[in-house]
Amino acid sequence: MRASNKTVVVRVGGEGGEGTITLGDLFTRIAAYSGLDIYSFRTYPAEIRGGQVMYQTRLGTKRVMTEGDEANVLVAMNQQAWIDEHEDLCRNAALVYEAHLALPAEGHQRYPITAEQIAQDLDWPRGKNFIFLGALLWFFRLEVEAAEQTVRQRMRRHVESLEKNLAALHRGYRHARETYPEPFPFTLQATEATEERIILSGADAMALGALAAGCQFYAGYPITPATPIMESLARYLPAFDGTLIQVEDEIAAINSAIGAAFAGQRAMTATSGPGLSLMIEGLGLASMAEIPLVLVNVQRAGPSTGLPTKTSQGDLFLALYGGHGDAPRFVLAPDSVKDCYFQMIYAFSLAEYYQMPVIVLSDQAMASRQETTPLPGAPWNGPLERWVPSAEELASDYRRYAYSEQGISPMAHPGIPGGMYLAESLEHNEYGYPNQNPETHQRMMQKRANKVETARRMLSEWRMTSRRWGDRGAPFGIIGWGSTRGAVREAMDAIHAQGIPIEAIYPHTLLPMPDRAIVDFISTKRAILVPELNFSGQFGRMIEHRYYRDLDELNIHIYHCKKEQGVPFKIHEIYDATMAMVDEEHELWRQEHGELANIYNTILRIRDEQRQSKKGDRCG
Amino acid sequence: MNSANPRKVTVVVEQTTADYKSAVKPIWCPGCGDYAVLTALMRAFKHLDLAKENIAIASGIGCSSRFPAFLNTYGIHGLHGRALPLATGIKLGRPETTVLAVGGDGDGFSIGGGHIPHAARRNVDITYIVMDNSIYGMTKGQPSPTSPQGIVTRAAPYGTQERPLNPLLMTLSYDASFVARCFSGKVKEMTDVLMAALQHPGFALIQVLSPCVTYYNTYKHYRQVTGPLPEDHDPSDRLAAMALAMDTTTQHLGIFYQDPERSVYSHRVKKVQAHTGEMTLYEIFERLKC
């Protein structure tokens, strides 16, 4: 949508298990290595084999913020790919497809590839995806030798099939070159890279963020889509003298992590919705016994088993409020792959410094996508350490849970002489021993709650608490959280281009909310859109509830933009919802201002006409 | 007592049992079997001359799970059934610590029963003491997984319908590397077994027959049916141990099974760490560059 950044959306569809994801993934990497920026998205069924798979990647000459909307290029490996995707294509899209498929493709450009025939000639029926990969290399004019290196590197464990697949790749490349020698309409020219870039998935970003934060212990249980975090740490953590253990269930995972943290380690676990439900009791223990813990929740669509491989933001309320009793915790929400890395560092800082559980909310779309991103620099702050008592502090009546206004008290661990204490899940006194006096309970509840308030004050000094951008002080606003930011950002560019001033804020700490920043933002607004990927509009309800006084006094309208379909927002969905909000607000304004509005009406009509004439193909 | 595991004899005893005691008075009823376990364990600590700061005890929920509060060591009183995962985390987080898990039969064999096989197969170096009174005491007398079939309790006014578990047979079949049974009526023997368990490198489960005087007083019964293991029992013979665990006439006391040679989980973790060598974040980023 931004003229300065030419982007192309490539979508690959095929049967699960026939290498569709491999094709998409390899193509994405090869494009990234060639200097293009990439942003990929995948949707796949919960079954390992069978079911339709879709892999979408958006290529750009500059930083790409979303996977894009309609596809410019559709690679259809089977008929189903056409059936599923043909309504979601740009005009004049390029169709690269298996030659024997019958595609009624009026209005598009056809590039049939005889992949099955070539695969038969090569006596390698499994090589179809590599034949398509070869063809794509030609279409995008990517260097085939460099691509071969990437394939060799990525597929080195598949010794028996590697050479056959490479042969298929070269045949596909030659076939496309001979059949379609003319220029391909969507070839992009990579610009010379000005900064160092890496290819990173959200899951890897979280694992690396954990390592950067000094994580020493991980306990986890496999669950889609959080498992890649465990797999990544399984590889790296031992090299950082850390321990990773795959335990028998999520309950064991959180309790083992709590045990390790009690023993003085920086510990974490990661899971998805159903696992978080099981961990809630453990979360309460970490909160009550004041034990540092980082818990990553990679959200998937629920309730119950739900849509295990599809994305959602439906666990917000569970993360914020889940558990019996008032159990303070922090909740962080990274809003990009790169931000996943930094939020993990902040999460460990908060967990250790405040001796509390920290939930980091990611989601399937963000965890499993690949993105080119600049090499992350140093974190803005931290990592902070926990308060381990000194010998002097231990010598003078050491109280593990000493009451203080700040709420933070010194935490010894096994191995420290004189620091012996009891970490209690029962209400306890300052020494940690069980105590159920009414006053003790009230006071200890206050102590634990004070930590959140101390953090609220501290965090207001930190730059990490929210991200605000757009037209400063604009009457129209967007408040969102998490991975929807990319779509919002691109939609806002388009809205701004229509002459409508718009501004957005994305809080990174959802608990505690950066109230000052939010109130500062909303107080300049007339109407605010709250886009989120869940059914009931949890975040919007939280905003309405928390800031009702400001919203009411200043007569600010909240517009919910909810979507619970298992897939991320499209840019145009945010665009359309925002425009609908703008139109409704104008209508209200007209009603409120009567005669005066007639003059304004004329101005608007002229602008609307201009807007209509500018509104072209969204695929830009 | 156990020739397969010659015990180190500590000559200089610097700690006294009172050193391990906390200021908190146990909540247990007078006559509760758990007092004997507390005494035996403090004596075992003393005999082994363990430093208080190097001991960590994890527990779940129940009368016996209040145990850590009564000791002047590091302790964590956690969630119902989750003593073993906590202990696993502590041991792996700080391997030089002597780590114990304690709790009752409801905590260990009912709600937390799923954790025992995994602690056993990992062979994490944890001493797990299950104080088995065959009743839920803290909630005032409901049947537990080891209650005999047919006992009448408030939650089973017409008698329980389930057959009891056989905890030792179960643990032996999980191939735990140390399996023993003690009785609260025999503190001296218990102290010896606990010392052996604490010195055993690996996962040790000790079932202590620890009667609940208030809701299910079994002292008299256990005095009648318990007896030592046969003199010629070889603790390295798992099948023989299983046969003894299935003995319906005598509840044998002592070390049923022990495999002191088996590798310990935290050592294996160390090996993996040594094998992977050092790595920096910068090196990982280098690999991801494009």
- For the segment A14-40, the average pLDDT, to the nearest whole number, is 92
Asked whether residue A580 carries a pLDDT value surpassing 50, the answer given is yes
Which of A293, A289, A290, A291 has its CA nearest to residue A271? Answer: A293
8 A C-beta contact, residue B112 and residue B170: no
CB-based contact A137:A73 (threshold 8 Å): no
Res B11 pLDDT > 60: no
Residue B285 lies in a domain: no
Lowest pLDDT segment from A313-322, B17-26, B129-138: B17-26
User: Chain A within 8 Å of B58 (Cβ-Cβ)?
Assistant: yes
Q: Which two tokens stand for residue B42?
A: 């403090």
**Is residue A13's pLDDT more than 90?**
yes
The DSSP result for A292-337, as a single string, is: -EEEEEEE-B-STT-BTTS---TTHHHHHH-SSS----EEE---SH
The verdict on residue B287 lying in a domain is no
Whether residue B273 and residue A238 make contact (CB cut-off 8 A), yes or no, is yes
Q: What pLDDT band is residue A609 in, cutting at 50, 70 and 90?
A: confident
Question: Could you state, in order of their start, the residue ranges of all structural domains in chain A?
Answer: 7-179, 199-374, 391-459, 466-614
A466-614 fold: Rossmann fold (3.40.50)
CA distance B215 to A589: 75
Find, in chain A, the residue whose alpha carbon is nearest to that of B51.
A417
Predicted pLDDT at A427: 98
Radius of gyration of chain A from its Cα atoms, rounded to whole angstroms: 27
Q: Which residues of A touch B269 (CB under 8 A)?
A: 238, 243
User: How many Å lie between the alpha carbon of A339 and the closest alpha carbon of chain B?
Assistant: 16
pLDDT at residue number A48: 67
- Maximum separation of any 2 CA atoms in chain B, in Å: 76
Q: Which of A236, A247, A420 sits opposite B74 (nearest CB)?
A: A420
Residue contact B114–A248, C-beta within 8 A? yes
pLDDT on residue A105: 66
In this prediction, residue A49 carries a pLDDT of 67
What local confidence, expressed as pLDDT, does residue A3 receive? 43
Q: Is the pLDDT of residue B10 over 50?
A: no
The answer to whether A533 faces chain B, any CB pair under 8 Å, is no
Nearest to B79 among A281, A375, A422 (CB): A281
Quick: pLDDT tens for A305-356: 999 999 999 999 999 999 999 999 999 999 999 999 999 999 999 999 999 9
Query: Would you call A197 an interface residue with chain B, using a CB distance cutoff of 8 Å?
Result: yes
* Cα angle value A243/A246/A250 (rounded, 5°): 120
B68 in reach of chain A (CB within 8 A): yes
Do A199-374 and A7-179 have the same topology in CATH? no
Contact A56, A85 (CB under 8 A): no
Rounded average pLDDT over A126-146: 96
The DSSP string of B160-211 is --SPPP-HHHHHHHTT-SEEEEEETT-HHHHHHHHHHHHHSSS-EEEEEE--
Q: Is the pLDDT of residue A108 over 60?
A: yes
Which segments within A497-572 are labelled E, that is strand? Answer: 502-507, 509-511, 527-532, 557-562
Q: Which of A239, A253, A265 sits opposite B93 (nearest CB)?
A: A265
pLDDT reading at B86 higher than 80: yes
Q: A413 vs B86: CB contact, 8 Å cut-off?
A: no
Secondary structure of residue A245 in the 3-state scheme: strand
Contact yes or no for A199 and B288 at CB 8 A: yes
Residue A270 has phi, psi (to 5 degrees) of -140, 145
Hey, CA dihedral for A531, A533, A537, A538, is it positive or negative? Answer: negative
The model's pLDDT over A466-476, given as tens digits with 9 standing for 90+, comes to: 999 999 999 99
Strand, helix or coil at B259?
coil
Q: For residues A558-587, give the mean pLDDT.
A: 96
Within an 8 Å CB–CB cutoff, is residue B78 touching chain A? yes
Q: Mind telling me how many Å the CA of B274 is from chain A's nearest CA?
A: 8
Question: Are the Cβ atoms of B93 and A281 closer than 8 angstroms?
Answer: no
Within 79-138 of B, beta carbons closer than 8 Å to A belong to: 79, 82, 84-94, 96-97, 114-115, 117-118, 122
Q: Residue B1: what pLDDT?
A: 40
CB contact under 8 A, B89 and A197: no
Distance from CA of A324 to the nearest CA of B (A): 13
> Is the CB of residue A273 less than 8 Å from the CB of residue A246?
no
Q: Is residue B5 pLDDT above 50, yes or no?
A: no
Q: What is the pLDDT of residue A615?
A: 53
Instruction: Give A269-300 pLDDT, tens digit per residue.
Output: 999 999 999 999 999 999 999 999 999 999 99
Per-residue pLDDT tens over the stretch A582-602? 999 988 888 888 777 777 777
CB contacts < 8 Å between A and B, how many?
Answer: 185
Tens digits of residue pLDDT in B217-254: 999 999 999 999 999 999 999 999 999 999 999 999 99
Structure tokens at A332: 């962080």
* Across A519-525, average pLDDT: 96
Cβ of A425 within 8 Å of Cβ of B52? The answer is: no
CATH number of A199-374: 3.40.50.970
Residue A389 three-state SS:
coil
Which segment of A34-43, A403-412, A467-476, B111-120 scores lowest on mean pLDDT?
A34-43
Residue B284 within any structural domain of the chain: no
- Residue A139 has phi, psi (to 5 degrees) of -60, -40
Q: What is the mean pLDDT of residues B35-47?
A: 97
Residue A383, pLDDT score: 83
Strands (E), chain B: 55-59, 74-77, 98-104, 126-132, 135-136, 142-143, 178-183, 204-209, 226-228, 251-258
Q: Does A285 touch chain B (CB under 8 A)?
A: yes
ipTM: 0.95
Residue A62 · residue A1 · CB < 8 Å: no
How far, CA to CA in Å, does A92 sit from each of A11, A86, B103? 15, 12, 70
Residue A408 above 90 pLDDT? yes
Task: Say which CATH number the domain at B101 has.
Answer: 3.40.50.970
Residue at B278 is within a domain = no
Partner residue facing A263 (CB), from B53, B97, B284: B97
**pLDDT beyond 90 at A229:** yes
Cis peptide before B167 (omega within 30 of 0): no
Query: Which residues sit opposite A186 in a β-bridge?
Result: none
pLDDT at position A2? 40
CB of A372 within 8 Å of a chain B CB? The answer is: yes
Q: For residue B272, what is the nearest residue in chain A, using CA coordinates?
A: A238
What is the pLDDT averaged over residues B192-214?
Answer: 98
pLDDT exceeds cutoff 60 at B196: yes
C-beta atoms of A239 and B276 within 8 A: yes
> What pLDDT digit, counting tens, does each position of A434-467 carry?
999 999 999 999 999 999 999 999 988 877 789 9
Say if residue A63's pLDDT is above 50: yes
Residue A4 has a pLDDT of 56
Expressed as residue numbers, the domain containing B163 is 17-263
Distance from CA of B56 to the nearest CA of A (A): 7
Q: Which residue of A has its CA nearest to B57?
A: A422
**Cα–Cα distance between A285 and B82 in angstroms, integer?**
11
Contact across the interface for B273 and A239, Cβ inside 8 Å: yes
DSSP A113: E
Count of beta carbons in the 10 Å neighbourhood of residue A560: 16
Mean pLDDT within A141-166: 94
Which of A211, A240, A416, A422 to mutate to test binding with chain B, by most B CBs within 10 Å of its CB? A422
Contacts of residue A31, Cβ cutoff 8 Å, sequence gap at least 6: A38, A57, A59, A140, A142
The CATH architecture annotation of domain A7-179 reads 3-Layer(aba) Sandwich (3.40)
